[in-house]
Amino acid sequence: MENTIDGTPPRRKGILGQLWFQVLAGTIIGIVLGHYAPGIGVAMKPFGDAFIKLIKMMIGPIIFVTVVHGIAGMNDMKSVGRMALKSLIYFEVITTLALVFGLVAVNLWKPGAGMNIDPATLNADAVKGYVATAHDQSMTAYILNIIPDTFVSAFTGGYVLQVLFVAVLFGIALASLGERGKPVYNVIDSASQGFFRIIGYIMFFAPLGAFGAIAFTVGQFGTASLISLGELIIQFFIVCALFTVFVFGTIAWWCDVSLWRLMGYLKDEIIIVAATTSTETVLPRLVQKMRGAGCEESVVGFVIPAGYSFNLDGTCLYLTTVAVFLAQATNTPLTTWHELTLVGVLLLTSKGAAGVAGAAFVVLAATLNTTGVIPVASIALILGIHRILAEGLTFVNLIGNALATVVIAKWEGKLDPVMLAATIGRRRNERKTA
């Protein structure tokens, strides 16, 4: 019997046996529980936390074996450097576009205009923890933090770039050994299959994790925040949708990918990130899914882990949207120079959004603290709706990294057109292949 993309035996057919349906059902039950019994909903938080911890437990090993196996299997080490350079260029272009897109949209919509909030009246104590963390987020510290203290600590610190760093070094070293490295290469291949099998087992608990995470969110923050800051929420979700349709749609068209089929292909992952507001929960599955879509392992192994730090398009939309919203809400005047400076700072600080607790929120605090124009205390305004906004930004981050993998694979000539057509390719191309 053929195995699924996770390496586990396929579940029985029928909608009740589909992971996306089970996660969706868990999410809906969690919303209902959190709304009508908020105390109980908040108490469900450990279920969501446990699922996220289970996934994070496997991220380091899976990135390591995938990257090492992909790089060690490449004969030309120059192609590794070329692929890395192309990836970083693409990431920078798209994230810059996302920052500008969010900036233009929030200036046109003006969701914060007329709120007339006095920053002095806000509860600054509520965001002290984020602001304190933000002081540690300098570019020098960020670069140095890519290098782990020890080889093993890369796997215990929960920092994706550290694992990627040691994996690239080990992969290059293993490739340079030639035939002497084959036994280790075979062990890495077997370990990869074992790790992905574990992920398959963990995903059986995804519905319970989604239930716990969303029940806590609704129970903790309720619907009052939705009403008072509803315009910002609506505006941000519309911006995310427009960016997905127009920007990602254009990129998908260039790559001969159907955006709608891609979202259908990733429906399990989309529902999981929406419930848990964390893209890390689906990183291992995304690796397997993009390999299944025809992207070569060496590309997938590098682009996806790197994209989780450098290609956070949804986070960039969030940062400019919320920063300017806070300026509007507190009647803080922003000149064109202020906004250009904001984008410039965000180009740097947004790259540190991975591996930080409350990532986007911390980066926002760091940016406001660096620019010194918008009151840092004003971020208390969106504390109650951050997790709701995160549902939009994590979706965009997920689709953005999936597309980035296809782009780099096509750019490098490492994209299987037959597998692409069978999974996420445009229908006309699928008919031509047939």
| pLDDT reading at 349 higher than 50 | yes
pLDDT digits (tens, 9 = 90+) for 186-201: 898 888 889 888 988 8
Q: What is the mean pLDDT of the chain?
A: 82
pLDDT digits (tens, 9 = 90+) for 68-81: 888 887 766 777 78
In a domain, 421, yes or no: yes
The predicted pLDDT at position 426 comes to 81
Domain that residue 272 falls in: 15-433
Number of domains, the chain: 1
- Give the DSSP per-residue string, 111-163: TTTT----GGGS-GGGGHHHHHHHTT--HHHHHHTTS-SSTGGGGTS--HHHH
| pLDDT reading at 336 higher than 70 | yes
In a domain, 7, yes or no: no
| pLDDT reading at 2 higher than 50 | no
CATH number of the CATH domain containing 349: 1.10.3860.10
- Over residues 211-229, mean pLDDT: 72
Contact 268, 292 (CB under 8 A): no
In a domain, 366, yes or no: yes
Q: Among 43-52, 107-116, 226-235, whose mean pLDDT is lowest?
A: 226-235
The predicted pLDDT at position 125 comes to 58
In a domain, 328, yes or no: yes
In a domain, 2, yes or no: no
| pLDDT reading at 358 higher than 90 | no
Put residue 271 in one of left, alpha, beta given phi > 0 → left and psi -120 to 50 → alpha: alpha
Contact 393, 318 (CB under 8 A): yes
In a domain, 8, yes or no: no
Q: What is the dihedral of CA 245, 246, 252, 254, to 10 degrees?
A: 160
Please write down the long-range contacts of 161-167, taking CB distance under 8 Å and 24 or more positions apart. Answer: 161/305, 161/306, 161/309, 161/354, 161/355, 163/59, 163/60, 163/63, 163/64, 163/305, 164/63, 164/67, 164/302, 164/305, 164/306, 166/64, 167/63, 167/64, 167/66, 167/67, 167/68, 167/71, 167/301, 167/305
Query: At 290, is the pLDDT very low, low, confident or very high (cuts 50, 70, 90)?
Result: very high
In a domain, 336, yes or no: yes
In a domain, 214, yes or no: yes
Question: Three-state SS for 311?
Answer: coil
* Tokens 């965000």 sit on residue: 346
Q: Which amino acid is at 391?
A: E
